[in-house]
Amino acid sequence: MKGKILDYNLQEGEGIISADNGERYNFTNKNWKSSIHPSSNQTVDFTPDATQAIDIYVIDSKNAYTHTTVIQSQQTSGLAITSMIFGILGFLSSWWLLAIPSIIAIITGHIARSSIKNSQDRMDGDGFALVGLILGYLIILAYVAIVFIFVGVIGAASMY
**pTM to 2 decimal places:** 0.53
Please provide the DSSP assignment of 2-44 as one string: EEEEEEEETTTTEEEEEETTS-EEEEEGGGB-SSSPP-TT-EE
Per-residue pLDDT tens over the stretch 40-71: 888 999 999 999 999 999 986 555 455 555 55
Per-residue pLDDT tens over the stretch 68-113: 555 567 899 999 999 999 999 988 886 667 789 999 999 999 999 9
| Domains of the chain with bracketed CATH | 2-60 (2.40.50.140), 75-158 (no CATH)
Per-residue pLDDT tens over the stretch 127-149: 999 999 999 999 999 888 988 99
| Residue 149 near residue 101 (C-beta atoms within 8 A) | no
